[in-house]
């Protein structure tokens, strides 16, 4: 979502609508976005609070690791 425009440019239009708001800034940063996207699976699969938080951060870290391994230098970060 962060680097994609989506079908019919829907994600692009959503990012444009969000502008410089908090949500708009989250959608522009892969690292920020990965943290918020990882909340749902982390809390769904975790049993206790410690496990939920650990899984939340692990899913986010896994997404960042995969993004780093597959990035071909297309971004300017």
**Within-domain flag for 36:** yes
Question: Whole-structure pTM over 0.75, yes or no?
Answer: no
**Within-domain flag for 31:** yes
Identify the pLDDT of residue 33. 81
pLDDT per residue as tens digits for the range 10-54: 767 777 777 777 777 667 778 888 888 899 999 999 999 999 999
Reduce the DSSP state of residue 38 to 3 states and report it.
coil
Domains contained in the chain, number: 1
Residue 77 has pLDDT above 60, yes or no: no
Contacts by 52-59, CB closer than 8 A, 24 or more apart? none
- Quote the domain boundaries for residue 35: 7-70
**Within-domain flag for 75:** no
Give 3-state DSSP helix, strand, coil % of the chain, rounded to 5: 75, 0, 25
Residue 61 has pLDDT above 90, yes or no: yes
Identify the pLDDT of residue 5. 59
Identify the pLDDT of residue 72. 72
């Amino acid at each position: 979502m962060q680097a994609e425009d989506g079908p019919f440019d829907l994600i692009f239009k959503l990012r444009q609508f969000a502008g410089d708001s908090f949500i708009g800034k989250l959608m522009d940063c892969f690292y920020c976005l990965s943290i918020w996207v990882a909340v749902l699976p982390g809390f769904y699969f975790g049993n206790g609070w410690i496990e939920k938080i650990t899984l939340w951060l692990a899913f986010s870290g896994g997404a960042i690791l995969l993004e780093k391994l597959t990035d071909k230098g297309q971004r300017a970060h």
